[in-house]
């Protein structure tokens, strides 16, 4: 069954929203805002059953797979870094900082099996688009010229 990412979050006195203490100019924050996550969810929704226990939200799983690809990490390292990195958490749709792993590293292989070759091609396409955007951003930051046009990935 499809796990859903909450659209609205109730403010909690004891938890500070990630946006209140992260740098909103960080490349992962900008990248997260560039991706049309609703379109990503529509693309991957077909791989989830209608009944059963809800799975991990699509944004979280796809986001983790993209982080794994962008930073060339193993399954275990991706999960370990997610726990300690608020930017990884923001990228995958978290609202407040989490101190527990979002998934077991074995869930990566389960997700890869679930989406199959067709879903892997969609992930690869998205990953290539993100790599191109991050390369452009790094180059434009190096030259101190903003050449990145606003837009969304996966339209």
pLDDT, one tens digit per residue, over 90-130 is 999 999 999 999 999 999 999 999 999 999 999 999 999 88
Query: Band of the pLDDT at 144, cuts 50, 70, 90?
Result: very low
The Cβ of residue 54 has, within 10 Å, a number of other Cβ atoms equal to 10
Residue 63 has pLDDT above 70, yes or no: yes
Site of tokens 């067709």: 118
**Segment 50-60 mean pLDDT:** 88
Residue 17, strand partner residues:
96
Residue with tokens 């923001």: 90
Instruction: Indicate the domain borders of the chain.
Output: 18-143
Query: What phi-psi label fits residue 71: left (phi over 0), alpha (psi between -120 and 50 degrees) or beta?
Result: alpha
* Cα separation, 130 vs 34, whole angstroms: 9
Q: State the Cα–Cα distance between residues 74 and 78, nearest whole angstrom.
A: 6
Q: Contact at 8 Å (CB) between 82 and 115?
A: no
Lowest mean pLDDT segment, chosen from 82-86, 118-122, 135-139, 150-154:
150-154
List pLDDT tens digits, range 25-46.
Answer: 999 999 999 999 999 999 999 9
143 pLDDT band, cuts 50/70/90, is very low
């Amino acid at each position: 069954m499809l796990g859903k990412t909450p659209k609205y979050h109730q403010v909690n006195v004891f938890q500070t929203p990630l946006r209140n203490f992260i740098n909103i100019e960080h490349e992962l924050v900008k990248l997260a805002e560039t991706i049309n996550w609703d379109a990503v969810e529509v693309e991957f929704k077909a791989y989830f059953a209608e009944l059963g226990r809800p799975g991990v939200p699509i944004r979280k799983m796809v986001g983790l797979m993209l982080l794994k690809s962008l930073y060339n990490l193993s399954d275990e390292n991706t999960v370990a870094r997610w726990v300690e990195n608020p930017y990884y958490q923001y990228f995958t749709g978290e609202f407040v900082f989490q101190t527990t792993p979002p998934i077991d590293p074995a869930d990566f292989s389960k997700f890869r099996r679930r989406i199959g070759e067709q879903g892997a091609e969609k992930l690869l396409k998205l990953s290539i688009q993100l790599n191109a955007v991050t390369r452009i951003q790094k180059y434009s930051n190096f030259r101190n010229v903003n050449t990145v046009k606003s837009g969304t990935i996966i339209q």
